[in-house]
Structure 1
Amino acid sequence: MKILVTGAAGFIGFYTSKILVSKGHQVVGLDNLNDYYDVNLKYSRLLELGIVKDEASIYNTICKSASQDFSFVRMNIEDREELPKLFNNEKFDIVCNLAAQAGVRYSLENPETYVDSNLVGFLNILECCRNYTIKHLVYASSSSVYGMNKKIPFATADNVDHPISLYAATKKSNELMAHTYSHLFKIPTTGLRFFTVYGPWGRPDMAMFLFTDAIVKNKPIKVFNHGKMERDFTYIDDIVEGVIRVIEKSPKERIDSNQYYKLYNIGNNSSVKLLDFIKEIEINLNKTATKDMMEMQPGDVERTWADVDELINDYNYSPKTTIKQGVKSFINWYKGYYN
């Protein structure tokens, strides 16, 4: 299939593109390469996909990898003129929208960027899917939509009408927008609520990276809510396995039963204490962290845990990677990448 992957220079988008190409699909990756975090990490990911920095830097021009199976275009999904041209020229079968302004805490400081990318950009994706007969739209949502939900584990049937960050509100909005387009225009859409993804090539604003980097540099780490936090930490390989399964399986059965819209949790199906997670990093670095115990941050939640039964039933999804394995893999990558 010919597949558009937006956010292709991002953490999950990079892995998704890489695996899709390895499975014989033709992938066009799109990313605006913004400077929310170190853009050199994004260029390094693209280089792994066969795209050199100079070519990747040019706006609205497609450049191809040596294998020709992966192409890249630097573009904003909120660009109402250029995005439709891309759809018209490339004739995609599937769209996997992983482009978004990420981060709960950043949304407190820069709310406008979330509206531009996550709302305006997602609307443009939906419009292009509508106008260019896309067979299936798979898109990223987030565990953040659950807000202060007390029921554990979180299930997609739970009420998510009370987000506690603008980031979460935009992700909930994406789900509502997708539902509307599925209903009105019979576009098959599948939303995936990601739960705390970590692993090699991970984002520098995520806990795994922040803790490792600080400990290596003999700096204190910020431990919010005095360490009384739990997360459904999910290793990148397990996440991408689920994403690929959803992309590759035709939604025909759903269409036949008039189920054009679907939502899934995608996580590790377990919850790990934050202090245990930190301990595993300390073991792998053979260093003890200096911990600054802090109050809970605005927009943050105490515990997440994904109920992934639906994804298991419908796609035979099976997260396998333990925290011990996942943390070790990240630390090995970090040491190699940063020498």
Structure 2
Amino acid sequence: MRILVTGAAGFIGSHLCEKLQSLGHEVVGIDNLNDYYDVQLKEMNAEDLAEKGIAIYRIDLNDDLKEVFAKPFDYIYHLAAQPGISASTSLKEYVDNNVYATQNLLEAVLQYNPNLKSFVNIATSSVYGVEATVDEEVPAKPVSFYGTTKLAAEQLVLGLQRTGKLKACSIRLYSVYGPRERPEKLYTKLIENLYYDKPFPLFEGSVKHERSFTYVGDIVDGLAAIIGKEDVVNGEIINLGTDEINTTAEGIKRVEEIMNKKLIIDHQPPRKGDQQKTAAVIDKARRLLGYEPKVSLKEGLQEQVKWYLQKFTK
């Protein structure tokens, strides 16, 4: 199969590219390598993919995409987005990169790739709101610009599916971590600050937050399982995460144990838009995709620490 992955130089996208290629598929990536976080990290991921023969188009999804679709794809995994909950990111940036970019990609698909087997939209548990502890039938109640615009993007995709113009599904991910995790995310930042003995900014109340911390390898296994099941998942929204729940405090303790160091805490005021609790309800993923997360938090964090030490402490 020929597969397009958007956001291919990012954390999850790069792992997905490698997974799909390992299954024998022809994989093409697209990424604008924006500067939301250190572009060097994305360049590093792109280099890892290039070594495996996976090409990345360096283009913005809001631009003309005709060149990308010169040869048709069987599947598209749409991961590219303006991520995170950040006070410094404007609503316009979220709308441009999550809503308009998705719409432009969809229009290109309809024009240049009408026989696509499936458009797999990558959504987020943030659409559920303050507590993401429910199944896919419960109405979304986002409380952040990120969650709101990702929900809008999801509905753009599913709107085309409902009108019969596109086969598509949307996968809502839960608290993904592992090697290549973004630098401002919990565990990469935690590992860095522990290694260099730097104070770690901890938002008030966040140590009690409960999360379905899900290892990236489990996530990409679930995403890859969609191939060949496009009729089964057509029109579906599916949660993808783990039902192993840990608090932020427990996550910090695991990394401290692995690195045999004690974290220096820099206490910060509460952060607006933070979820209090996520607990992935993954019955549908199990039923439709045969999905079963296998990696424990300790095992996954050991891999992430090993990756960080190999890449950034030579």
Q: TM-score, normalised by structure 1?
A: 0.87
Q: Which residue pairs with 2:257 in the alignment?
A: 283
Report whether the alignment pairs 1:229 with 2:209. Answer: yes
Aligned-partner residue type, residue 143 of structure 1: S
For 1:200, the aligned partner's letter is P
Show structure 1 runs of 4+ deviating over 3 A: none
Q: 1:253 to 1:153 in 2, by over 3 A?
A: closer
- Looking at structure 2, the residues matched to 187 and 28 of structure 1 have their Cα atoms a distance apart, in angstroms, of 20
Contact 1:7 1:100 in 2 (8 A): yes
Query: 1:62 — aligned with what?
Result: none
Q: Is the 2:130–2:273 Cα contact (8 Å) retained in structure 1?
A: no
Q: Determine the structure 2 residue equivalent to 1:324.
A: 298
Alpha-carbon separation, structure 1, partners of 2:235 and 2:110: 14
Of 258, 278, 288, the residue aligned with 1:304 is: 278
Structure 2 equivalent of residue 54 of structure 1: none
Q: Match of 2:47?
A: 47
From 114, 117, 121, the counterpart of 1:139: 121
Which of the numbers 204, 207, 216 marks the counterpart of 2:195? 216
Counterpart of 2:85, as a letter, is V
Q: Note if contact 2:209-2:248 (Cα within 8 Å) is conserved in structure 1.
A: yes
Structure 1 match to 2:308: 334
Q: Which amino acid aligns with 2:129?
A: G
Residue 134 of structure 2 aligns to a residue in which SS? coil
The equivalences for 1:1-339 within 5 A come to 1-50=1-50, 67=53, 70-79=54-63, 81=64, 83-87=65-69, 89-106=70-87, 109-131=89-111, 132-133=113-114, 134-149=116-131, 153-160=133-140, 162-226=141-205, 227-246=207-226, 248-253=227-232, 260-339=234-313
Q: Deviations over 1:97-138 (max 9, x none)?
A: 1111111125x5322221111011100122122222122000
Gaps of 5+ in 1: 52-64, 255-259
Q: Offset at 1:205?
A: 1.4
Partner AA of 2:303 in structure 1: S
The secondary structure found in structure 2 opposite 1:3 is strand
Contact (CA 8 Å) 1:129, 1:137: kept in 2 or not?
A: no
Kept in 1: contact 2:232–2:288 (CA 8 A): no
Give the whole-Å Cα distance in 2 for the aligned partners of 1:305 and 1:290: 28
Could you tell me how far 1:185 is from its partner in structure 2?
3.3
Tell me how far apart the structure 2 counterparts of residues 78 and 181 of structure 1 sit (CA, whole Å).
19
What is the Cα deviation at residue 253 of structure 1?
Answer: 4.5
Contact 1:233 1:268 survives alignment (8 Å): yes
d(CA) in 2 for partners of 1:193 and 1:253? 17
Check whether the contact 2:121–2:154 (CA below 8 A) recurs between aligned residues: no
Percent of paired sites with the same residue: 33
Contact 2:57–2:68 (8 Å) recurs in 1: no
Q: Which amino acid aligns with 2:176?
A: V
State the alpha-carbon separation in 1 of the partners of residues 67 and 310 from structure 2.
40
* Contiguous gaps of at least 5 residues in structure 2: none
- Structure 1 vs Structure 2 CA RMSD: 1.6
